[in-house]
Structure 1
Amino acid sequence: MANSESTHDRDNLPAGPIAGAAYRDRPDLPVVAGYLAALVLTAFATVIASALESVAAVPNLSLIYVLPVIIAAIIFGFGPSMLAAVAGASAYNFFFTAPRFSFQVEDPANVWAIGLLLVVGGLASSLASLAARRQAAIKLRLRQEQALQSFSSAVSEARQPRDMANRAAAALEEMFHVSVAVMTPADGLLEIISSLGPITASASELAAAQSSLDQGHLVRAGVYPFDTSRFDFWPIKAPNQQPVVLGVAFDLQEYPERPDLFIVVVGRLLAAALSSPSTVQPAMAE
């Protein structure tokens, strides 16, 4: 099967809870958007603080500026939340301490209030960011486990090698939201029998995949002698089973923790399914 055709496998995914999850663009929010949002939240807090002050004397008015810090930490992360803390302390100093509309501070008590706001903001930012990361990690693990469970059920129903490979690629794409390539040897050379995502394996990456299969161990992206490879390649080999190589193009800046825990299981299930007597092997050929 020609590699040029394999890149269009996403259009031929079989129906099912996992197989239908073709690659979806998930554009990340630009980093600058989080920082701009932190400033907007701080400005909104200033408006609220000014409105409250005009109605009644409010003690500890500076605590209003903790809210933008927590919101920014939960939604955008540590950097924007720290900007919200600094912007909040500056806004409180400028608008609500004497002399007003100046960054000069006359009352030593206000110096402590501003310093305390920064400390509280920093602590709240760290704790909220940590909680958000843990929640994201839990959601990620649940999604991965559900994708694996769905794949293990769906692959047993498939009979064509391409269907099985499509389900494996779709399961991995659902787990990690990255480009995936599934390869098996044919006539001594590796062939891509399924791929998902905007990144497709080039000839040099096929060489890296072949090396991983020959040596029987993981070949990392961007590591000599395959410096230009964008995929990590996992070889799956077992006695009396069809060898499989799974390529996953992780973002090196957001590399997941222990992805092999799921990738190897998917590979072993796929290899076992491809080796089953019920599999219709001639369907791999065009």
Structure 2
Amino acid sequence: MLQTYSRDVAGIDNAKAIVSITCHTLAALFQVPVVVILVLDGKVVSVEKVGNIALQEAEIEAAQSSLATGLVVSAGVYPALTSRFDFWPLKTTAGGPRAAIGLAFDPDERPAAPSTSVDIVGRFLALALDRQHFRHARP
């Protein structure tokens, strides 16, 4: 699944489609609702989600906290006490959008080490977003 994702995301030249494929891949991999939040200059510019769960303000705040600290923010744990999503921040280059990947695990069925797969997908997403940013930033 990760190999297919990496090939697909490398061949797409549209940020919205890249984020959409990322959400669908993670949802298929973990069988949970997924959200990818793009932030530019401190403002949410895009929210893409898969799964039947409405995003709450607490989730947006948890994603922004994850981006601000550069750390994974776990659902139900300070500072995301009311968030249902765990968030992983993406490291992208300066100037482009930053992104947080959120997965809403059932607390009783949480996988042992989701960070490994989420980090792999996140790195491909970050590369694709950087590629988009640099492609459109060129004169």
Normalising by structure 2, we get a TM-score of 0.88
- Does structure 2 conserve the Cα–Cα contact (< 8 Å) formed by 1:181 and 1:246? yes
Partner Cα distance (1:272, 1:246) in 2: 14
Residue 203 of structure 1, aligned match among 57, 73, 80: 57
1:246-261 maps to which residues of 2 (within 5 A)?
Answer: 246-261=101-116
- Does structure 1 conserve the Cα–Cα contact (< 8 Å) formed by 2:37 and 2:101? yes
The Cα shift of 1:187 comes to 3.6
Q: Which residue of structure 1 aligns with residue 87 of structure 2?
A: 233
Partner Cα distance (2:14, 2:135) in 1: 5
Moved over 2 A (4+): 190-193, 238-243, 277-282
CA RMSD of aligned residues (A): 2.1
Residue 28 of structure 2, aligned match among 162, 171, 174: 174
- Does structure 2 conserve the Cα–Cα contact (< 8 Å) formed by 1:161 and 1:279? no
- Does structure 2 conserve the Cα–Cα contact (< 8 Å) formed by 1:160 and 1:279? no
Partner Cα distance (1:278, 1:237) in 2: 14
In structure 2, relative to structure 1, the CA distance for the partners of 1:154 and 1:204 (3 Å cut) is: same
- Does structure 2 conserve the Cα–Cα contact (< 8 Å) formed by 1:161 and 1:274? yes
Partner Cα distance (1:272, 1:242) in 2: 12
Partner Cα distance (1:244, 1:209) in 2: 8
The Cα shift of 1:242 comes to 4.4
Identity, in percent, stands at 37
Which one has the bigger strand percentage?
A: 2
Partner Cα distance (2:65, 2:133) in 1: 30
In structure 2, relative to structure 1, the CA distance for the partners of 1:194 and 1:244 (3 Å cut) is: same
Stretches of structure 2 lacking an aligned partner (at least 5 in a row): none
Query: Does residue 265 in structure 1 map to residue 120 in structure 2?
Result: yes
1:1-286 maps to which residues of 2 (within 5 A)?
Answer: 147-240=1-94, 242-277=97-132
- Does structure 1 conserve the Cα–Cα contact (< 8 Å) formed by 2:93 and 2:130? no
**1:29-80 CA distances to partner (integer Å, 9 max, x unpaired)?**
xxxxxxxxxxxxxxxxxxxxxxxxxxxxxxxxxxxxxxxxxxxxxxxxxxxx
Instruction: Give the match's secondary structure for 2:37.
Output: strand
- Does structure 2 conserve the Cα–Cα contact (< 8 Å) formed by 1:236 and 1:243? yes
Normalising by structure 1, we get a TM-score of 0.44
- Does structure 2 conserve the Cα–Cα contact (< 8 Å) formed by 1:161 and 1:281? no
**1:197-256 CA distances to partner (integer Å, 9 max, x unpaired)?**
011321111001100100000000011232110000000114456422100000110010
Stretches of structure 1 lacking an aligned partner (at least 5 in a row): 1-146
Which one has the bigger helix percentage?
A: 1
Partner Cα distance (1:214, 1:153) in 2: 30
Larger Rg: 1
Instruction: Give the match's secondary structure for 1:205.
Output: helix
